[in-house]
Amino acid sequence: MRVRHKSALVVMLLLMFACTGKAATVVAGQSTVAGQSLGQWTNNWWNWAESFGPGPFTDTTGARAGINQSGPVFFVAGTGGNAGPITRNVTVGNDKFIFLPLINWIVAAGPDPGFPDTKTEAIALATNTINPANLFATIDGVSVPNLASHREASGADFNLTVVNNNDTGFPPATYNDAYGDGYYLMINPLAAGPHTLHFGGTSTPFDAGAFQVPPFTIDVTVNLNVVAAGGSSNVPLPGAIFSGPLSGLLAMVLRNRFGRHRR
């Protein structure tokens, strides 16, 4: 598995959806939420995704969705590339933003041959494998428009801490050169009640010289049970760490010097 902006206020692109009597809203790309840029939230999302094993990518029911969740943003995971359609049932509070990727990449532990650094490689992977026209996202059956405006990047290298037996198969360690790039949605807190997220996309093949990236498809449905604040799941890290096949949010490929892995 390759595996941005000053604003004192949260800038939101109002996208109207019929969500149990209230409109859902999606935060505009490159905005600031709870004092952090969306690019910084992608870094937090990666550290959450790598913080427990088995991780969120191999979760086929939603049972792990609440593990290590805290703060104002609730992270949502998808599946590995070509894992087939998957549906999860998730409970979240109506005071939480919801953050999910469509297709995203991360590079750490040094770049592959042909790239001067991890940032350059991550940007190249996202640019050459993700056509926004091939992405999709709906909230309660209504399409989110202008997905091309939701590309988010780390902005600078960040520290990625990976636990043992994580979903990606990445060696456990803290890497100080991680860089991510891809397409993400930050959804404003939803009204209490049932909601459905459906998202994913199909990548395009990419010849990176030293390696080939074949096309892959992601198709994820999340049935959300949105409850009054304080009723969301916040499951602690299990005492035992289990191994599992690698997978990722939407379609992530984590590349590193230890090997190439694709979700």
Q: Which domain holds residue 134?
A: 12-262
Q: Does some domain include residue 142?
A: yes
Q: pLDDT digit string (tens) for 135-150?
A: 999 999 999 999 999 9
Contact 42, 182 (CB under 8 A): yes
- Terminal CA-to-CA distance of the chain, rounded, Å? 6
257 pLDDT more than 50? no
pLDDT at 20 over 90: no
Q: Which two tokens mark 73?
A: 């943003």
Tokens in use for 170?
A: 């990445």
> Going along the chain, which residue ranges are E strands?
12-13, 26-27, 32-33, 36-37, 73-75, 86-93, 97-107, 135-139, 142-143, 151-153, 158-162, 173-187, 193-202, 206-207, 212-213, 217-227, 251-256, 259-262
What is the number of domains present in the chain?
1
Going by pLDDT thresholds of 50, 70 and 90, the confidence category of residue 216 is very high
Sign of CA dihedral 169, 172, 177, 180: positive
Query: Does any domain span residue 2?
Result: no
Q: Does residue 168 register a pLDDT over 90?
A: no
The predicted-structure confidence for 224-251, as pLDDT tens digits, reads as follows: 999 998 654 444 333 222 222 222 333 3
162 falls within a domain: yes
* In-domain check, residue 73: yes
* Residue 5 domain flag: no
> Does some domain include residue 66?
yes
In a domain, 228, yes or no: yes
Element (H, E) at 41: helix 38-49
Question: What does the pLDDT average to over 54-74?
Answer: 95
